[in-house]
Chain A
Amino acid sequence: MRLVSAYEIRDKYLRKDMLPTIFCPGCGIGSVLQFTLRAIDELGLDPDKIVWVSGIGCSSRVPGFVNFDGLHTTHGRALAFATGIKLANPELKIIAFMGDGDAAAIGGNHFIHAIRRNLDVTVILINNFTYGMTGGQVAPTTPKGLRGTTAPYGQFENPFDIAQLAVAAGANYVARWTVFNYIQGINSIKKALSKEGFTLVEFLSPCPISFGRRNRMKTAPELIRWYQQITVPLAKAKKMPPEELEGKIVIGEFVDRDRPGLVREYMEYIKRAKKIMGWEE
């Protein structure tokens, strides 16, 4: 990995007139944005052929700050919009930047179906265990017992494991890291961007303002320490008994496979249609 300064990345890819960002001090979204830009830079991708898509939420504001084509859509629907962009112009590489509520609650159905059809898209998912933008309501990822403004006595529902959901739905590549897994995070994004089909890199990302504050972790460092306690690397998790894994979140690379992506499948479908109708041999 080449060490390019953060300034260089900023000057190369950010829209200066949009700065400063809306993100609170200690928020992890900026870090993940930097990882993504570094991955693009290191891969030498053509920025003119990349489209950033997002739904609604703090994380979904990211496409506004980067100097690329971007579609900031409606809450939860980013992947449905992305399906149209990608199929209408397969030349474009699509990065969907989404929040956990955006992707797994209101957008849950689009999420699993985009994966099922193996839409060619790289999803960068900010999992901050909460609804940041609307001020800290519980999300489908909020660990049991933790608080949000809509569950002031502690979440009583079971959380989704988004990465496992994606693996089960058929994604080509799925990895999960915390924002402090800098090298792994960038490498995963690079891998995700290089692959056909649906790829997902989930980041556990601190939201001190909406989430931490309500759960006795007011600052990013406190959240870091908590992430260190609750996350377990995949290799280690495999050797742990289930009781010990209770309440832990496994991080690592969960799947890496090469099923054909939606674009390729559709191109084949066109060929099949023409053959069946006798338009082509």
Chain B
Amino acid sequence: MAIKVVHHGLATTVQDLGRPGYFHLGIPVGGAMDRYAMRAANLLVGNDEGAAGLEAVFMGPQLEFTADALVAVTGADMPVKIDGVDQPGWTALKVKAGQKLSFDFLNSGARICIAVSGGIDVPVALGSRSTYPIGALGGYKGRPIQAGDELPVGEGSLASEGRSVDPGLRRVPGKLAELRVLPGLYWHRLTEAAKETFFADEWKVANEADRMGYRFKGGRKLDLVEREQPFGAGSDPSNIVDSCYPYGSIQVPGGTEPIILHRDAVSGGGYFMVGTVIAADMDLIGQLQPHTPTRFVKVDMDQALAARADEAVRLERLRVTLKS
């Protein structure tokens, strides 16, 4: 069985839960930007949570199925259609051979996850089917899908048609995004005033926002504590001796536009970082559209771990409710 790509949308890639273990060589973990949504989509169609699906940003693809299958679309609110007929999101849908899955305009959020019973069966590369486009690694030929591609699909079961995720277990981003941040890394480089304005100001998602990183604009410039630059860092005060970048870490080149590093992040570099978005909020970032007003909310480690525990509970409830 295969899926024929009639139209690829804007940027649609094969993703699973990622490729851990190679960050020390600069190869990022990758995987779905909104992992909760990808897990939910897979569970709906009876796959393992870690099966490969498609992630589409802003605009959905148009896909034709060569055999009967179950599909589920989760994540952003983007109306789903089968042969032009509206279908619910977050629900296991039957698609018959020859039918086409397509999408209407995006209402809210940024990324949808599309799971197919059996999973997208592209070759595993370094332990994952995720696409790492700049490294031309994984996914379908190491790149986003294109019209004319035929995506192989594994063997799946058609048993669980009609199941859906409880609305209380779907996460839809609000009008104002709040991202919880643990200050740290090179936080001490900021002046006291900058430490205040970073959390006080309202930022907006910039146009340069993708799987590698999300840039933000609109807050006041962050001044750095004066110092003689350490040898090897470079002369700009925002430069450091190149170090590792944690996932979710927020670098601020020149002190002006914070960039949150995401799933396809570079693994290190020479810009200072003010702290890190906590793991519980990483999925949310991938659902932010450009211009979304955003506040960074200061938390400590205990709060970060409590938020992490809340997420684990939510995921467990999802698993329990979808267990057939």
Q: Real complex partners, A and B?
A: no
